Amino acid sequence: MEYANKTKGPILELASGTGRVSLYVAEKTGRTLECIELSEYMLERFKEKLHKAPKQLQDSIHIRNGDMSNFNLGQKFEFIMIPWRALQWLPFQEKTTACLDCVYKHLSDNGIFVFDIFKPRTYDEKWIGKEDISYDITDGDKRIIRSTINHHADTVQKYIQYKNKIKILENGVERVKEDLLTYSKRQNLK
């Protein structure tokens, strides 16, 4: 949001997924978002969310099925974003380069390009079992704490795995759901 607010005009989001970031950014900025997502499954979830959103958001978010490494919208943007490490999910270096070329062609001269990447580190015995809090939010009388627990690392295969734990405190009662989801990520550990 900090960088989006330094720019004007429509925003381009690549790998928009189910619209989690798109809906938030459109609501907070009041700007038009052009969203590109390759997965039809993710787009269906996005469309469902958008259908339930206020009319103003429905009108300001445009969803396209497409490949972030091969697109041409015929316009420039002051702000382009690729959230949640999606750039690293491209299967080949050539696809990453092609994606960055497309971003360059669509970014205005004074534009800002923001993307999230996973910065690799050394995974050893000290990493396994470590728990990090991802977020701790309060909503009325409910508090939700999400953490990840480092579960497995294979530096040769460039693979890490972690488990989620969600703790919900509501009216003084605590509920914990451990291992709710397990994520596996293949990372570029070059």
- CA dihedral 26→20→49→138, nearest 10 degrees, is -100
Expressed as residue numbers, the domain containing 171 is: 131-185
> Does 82 fall in a domain?
yes
Q: What's the CATH number where 171 sits? A: 2.20.25
pLDDT tens digits, residue range 89-131? Answer: 777 788 999 999 999 999 999 999 999 876 656 677 777 888 8
Round the average pLDDT of the chain to a whole number and report it: 86
The amino acid that residue 162 corresponds to is Y
Residue 73 contacts by C-beta under 8 Å, 6 or more apart in sequence?
12, 34, 106
Last residue of a domain, one of 89, 115, 141: 115
Last residue of a domain, one of 115, 146, 175: 115
Residues paired with 70 in a beta bridge: 67
How many structural domains comprise the chain?
Answer: 2
Whole-model pTM: value is 0.69
Last residue of a domain, one of 115, 139, 157: 115
- Reading the block at residue 38, the tokens are 């390759």
Look at residue 156 in the predicted model and tell me its pLDDT: 65
Sign of dihedral through CA atoms 109, 112, 118, 120? Answer: positive
Look at residue 159 in the predicted model and tell me its pLDDT: 67
Q: Both 109 and 135 in a single domain? A: no
